[in-house]
Structure 1
Amino acid sequence: MKQKSIVFILSSIFRIFSLLPIKPNLYVFESQYGGRFDDNPKAIYDYLYMQNNKRNQLYWSIRYRDRDIVKDKNVKILYRFSIRWLYYMARANFWIVNARMPKWLPKRNETKYVQTWHGTPLKKLALDMDTFSMPGSDLESYKKNFLIEAKKWDYLVAPNQYSKDIFKSCFAFEKSFIESGYPRNDVLYQKNNDKDIKAIKERLGIPLDKKIILYAPTWRDDYYISKGKYKFHIPFDMNKLIHILGDDAVFIFRAHYLVAESLDSISTHSNIFNFSTNIDISDLYLVSDLLITDYSSVFFDYANLKRPMLFYAYDYEHYRDKLRGFYFDLEENAPGPFVTEESLFLKELKAFIDEDKNNRNDKKLDYFYSKFCLWENGKASKKIIDSINE
């Protein structure tokens, strides 16, 4: 059956179910197109789940092929695009989502669509983009589809004033902002203590007596295999890395969800861990002593912990000028050393591991924190739920 016919059937079924009344206090959550059980929607889900309010009905939208990520979890599942999914989506009081929904899926006026998004923007987004390298589409269509999507949103979560200003532009959003900080960062304030950090390390099988290095790079739009599938190249010599780690540190890979499969066969060396899937990245923030990234928005979240960061931007000019473009000069404003060469990256990493006192630019980090983290206080989930239930 052709895709257009399938879309017509699915949207028709949804519209039929939309003739039924909305179910009060029915929430449907989704993360990254149904492929994850994490991020801002998960934090809000956890907040509501812990309230144990029997009036609330909480459902998680997930792709059937990714069903194992909720295995052994007490979660009510809706398999994306199933008849049951269409039924609950049509009757839901709230959609809480961190990416786009299908263009063909309408939204009832009675349903409140809460778009949490999934990061403070460094890379240009949506309507602000000047270049486009993703397969299966073009820049004009991409922007048009984003406009259609953003008009469905009733609420948009903003982690800081900087993001709110950009979201107004890149999404042409004119409805209600929730100035709350990101729900996924609540845990960074609630569990940033020795007891909880030790418990996470033990659960993940990470050594308790070594420095923990977290590497969380972004994906590249032009590193694609096919539509929706991307690859990742490790931009440094693994043998050199292992030598630098020695007996004093371990290295955690956390790839972007679009390229996570590229690291399935990563080194099995005892000091190398791959937590690119099925592990909440907030747990990895909490246990790590240093974050290494490039252009991923993870560093905005990690800044809440006021811990050292290292920026390894090996393709900086290409990414800045050919792929996305940035909203600000990362090289100038990065809250940590910024390097583009492998030799300098390994040198900075070795210095961090060898030194008893972590070397960092406190003034730069403090300024970064004041600009991007002031709305964060560990209570974002509560503020969002209070706002949408007013």
Structure 2
Amino acid sequence: MTIRSVKGEKIMAFLFASLYNIMKRIYVRIYRILFCMMTKLPPNKNLVVFESFLGKQYSDNPRAIYEYMKEHDMDFTFYWSVDKRNEHLFQGRGLNTVRRLSLRWLLIMPRAKYWITNSRLPLWIPKPKHTTYVQTWHGTPLKKLAADMREVHMPGTTTEKYKRNFTEEAAKWDYLVSPNQYSSEIFRRAFRFNKTMIESGYPRNDYLYYANTTETIKDLKQKYDLPLDKKIVLYAPTWRDNQFHKKGRYKFDNSLDLSKMKEELGSKYILLLRMHYLVAENLNLSDYEGFAYDFSRHEDIRELYLMADVLVTDYSSVFFDYANLHRPIIFYVYDIDEYRDKLRGFYFDIEEQAPGPLVKTTEGVIDEINRAREVDVTTDKIYQDFYQRFCGLESGDAAKQVVDIVFEDN
């Protein structure tokens, strides 16, 4: 291929990319105008739209609230906003679904009385005056959020723009669900939120109380064809702001030596890997068949919590939820200095207050997993202090509290 032809291909690729971006901006502008027009139509006071993780999952706090309302036969029409790439995950459940940002979505979303979601909607979508926007969020914060972040390393934005966009979106929220007083204080400051905070515990954790039985755990293992004679380690790390392919597609550098883990632990344990929803790659675990299982695309982590005898994580908020089960937690924090000092920063000293040991090597993880068989967290003062501070509101009725407040107020 000649230099001239290479240059020609680059020019054509640039022109196509530019044209695509222009068309996308035009589409967004037209769609927003149509959305605003639809908000002028009479609202449907019985219409509730749910969305979880940008329409990628049937999960988390919105799912728990939805299931509570369905179970109690509340007289509403429910829709789930679904990303078109993930529609198959919602099939066969008897759910009313609508493709996110489609023309049909345009007919439903602006007229809905209630929006219930756990992540931000696109900033350019206006909230109708008749709509009650319930933001459940999706975790107790360890790492700095929004306005509290010193610097933002995500692609396609700047620190100033990211903070401004976040607070503009948060201004639309009518209710914000909080799992504890600690989170409430941070949410108000970091999101610049000054409306109604529902400090109820997280609805998604209700499941950890009413479903935590030997029979349920056995049924789940059989459902997912997992061995009944081995203990389960759940590895659920977070994403890194500065590790990405492009905007919206993040990558994860798995530094755990799975070969060594299989060699040392394979006779007694299996490993379930649950990557953050923002991480792009599919894991290739073909070399670890029978030991390591990829559950990254599993719809709801709550089932993985129940099955897991031990949690291995890093700075993900999963450990706040898992602590409800009073089971061992191990923190694999090989890059803690960079993450704490350069990327995000923490709200409290995890090295002093973590409800479990911190390790930086695969060997350390293996040692702590073996030691976990002898650990009784109910007698550990640090663990119990952590539980009281962050899980003290959890009792299995958070969804009820949220529904009672939101739907009785309106």
Please report the TM-score for the alignment, with normalisation by the length of structure 2. 0.91
Unaligned runs of 5+ in 1: none
> Which deviations, in whole Å up to 9, do the C-alpha atoms of 1:239-294 show, x marking residues without a partner?
10101223211111011011153425564410211111133100010111100000
- Is the 1:232–1:262 contact (alpha carbons within 8 Å) kept by the matching residues of 2? no
Residue 245 of structure 1 is matched in structure 2 by: 265
Which secondary structure does the structure 2 equivalent of 1:156 belong to? strand
Partners of 2:146 and 2:266 in 1: CA distance:
43
Per the TM alignment, residue 358 of structure 1 is displaced from its structure 2 partner at its CA by 3.0
Contact between 2:89 and 2:299, CA under 8 Å: does it hold in 1? no
Match of 1:30 in 2: 51
> Could you tell me which residue of structure 2 aligns to residue 198 of structure 1?
218
Over 3 Å counting, the alpha-carbon distance change for 1:260 and 1:197 in structure 2 is farther
Is the contact made by 2:208 and 2:325 (CA closer than 8 Å) also made in structure 1? yes
Per-residue CA deviation, residues 62-81 of structure 1 (Å, 9 max, x unaligned), is: 11111121122211111111
- The percentage of counterpart residues that share the same residue type is 48
Aligned residue in 1 for 2:132:
112
CA 1:310–1:107 in 2, change beyond 3 Å: closer, same or farther?
Answer: same
Alpha-carbon separation, structure 1, partners of 2:67 and 2:231: 30
Question: Residue 48 in 1 paired to residue 76 in 2?
Answer: no
Instruction: Give the AA of the match of 1:30.
Output: E
| Paired residue type of 2:375 | N
* Partner residue, 1:89: 109
Partner of 1:236: 256
**Structure 2 partner of 1:254:** 274
Aligned to 2:337: 317
| Kept after mapping to 2: 8 A contact 1:28/1:58 | yes
Could you tell me which residue of structure 2 aligns to residue 14 of structure 1?
35
Q: 1:344, CA displacement in angstroms? A: 1.9
Counterparts of 1:296-335 in structure 2, within 5 Å, are 296-335=316-355
Q: Distance in 2 between the 1:8 and 1:372 partners?
A: 43
> 2:376 & 2:281 partners in 1: Cα distance?
34
Distance of 2:193 and 2:338 partners within structure 1:
30
Q: CA–CA distance in 2 between the matches of 1:299 and 1:91?
A: 38
Q: Which amino acid aligns with 1:11?
A: R
For 1:358, the equivalent position in structure 2 comes to: 375
SS at match of 2:53: coil
Moved more, 111-120 or 190-199: 190-199
In structure 2, the residue matched to 1:336 is 356
Name the counterpart of 2:399. Answer: 381
Q: Deviations over 1:115-173 (max 9, x none)?
A: 00000000000000001111110110000101110100000001000000000100010
Partners of 1:227 and 1:313 lie apart in 2 by 25
Greater Rg over alpha carbons, structure: 2
Letter in structure 1 aligned against 2:273 = F
Partner secondary structure for residue 281 of structure 2 = helix
Alignment length (residue pairs): 386
CA distance in 2, matches of 1:196, 1:367: 29
1:275 to 292, 295, 316: 295
Q: Would you say 1:4 and 2:7 are equivalent positions?
A: no
Q: Deviations over 1:279-316 (max 9, x none)?
A: 31000101111000000000000011111100010100
Deviations 1:29-72 (A, max 9, x none): 1111122221111111111122233x311100011111121122
The aligned residue for residue 368 of structure 1 is: 386
Counterpart code for 1:22: P
- Deviation, 1:347, is 2.0
How far does residue 364 in structure 1 lie from its aligned partner after superposition? 1.2
| Structure 2 residue 98 is matched with structure 1 residue 78 | yes
Greater displacement, 7-16 / 259-268: 259-268
- For the Cα contact (< 8 Å) 1:320–1:326, is it kept in 2? yes
Kindly indicate whether the alpha-carbon contact (under 8 Å) linking 1:99 and 1:118 is maintained by their aligned counterparts in 2.
yes
Q: Which amino acid aligns with 1:179?
A: E
Which secondary structure does the structure 2 equivalent of 1:225 belong to? Answer: strand
CA–CA distance in structure 2, aligned partners of residues 216 and 260 of structure 1: 15
In structure 2, the CA distance between the partners of 1:132 and 1:68, relative to structure 1 (3 Å rule), is same
CA contact (8 A) 2:285 2:293 kept: no
SS state at 1:166 partner: helix
Residue 6 of structure 1: how far off its partner (Å)? 1.1
Distance 1:233 1:203 in 2: 30
Change beyond 3 A, Cα 1:268–1:342: closer
SS at match of 2:44: coil
Q: Which residue type is aligned with residue 183 of structure 2? A: S
8 Å CA contact retained: 1:266, 1:274? no
Deviates more, 1:159-168 or 1:341-350: 341-350
Q: For residues 82-111 of structure 1, what are the alpha-carbon distances to aligned partners after superposition, in whole Å with 9 as ceiling and x for unaligned?
A: 111111111111000111111110001210
CA contact (8 A) 2:154 2:241 kept: yes
The answer to whether the Cα contact below 8 Å between 1:133 and 1:221 also exists between their aligned partners in 2 is: yes
SS of the residue 1:24 aligns to: strand
SS of residue in 1 equivalent to 2:241: coil
Tell me the equivalent position of 1:185. Answer: 205
The amino acid of 2:240's aligned partner reads: R
Q: Structure 2, unaligned stretches of length 5 or more?
A: 1-21
Query: Contact 2:175–2:198 (CA<8 Å) still a contact in 1?
Result: yes
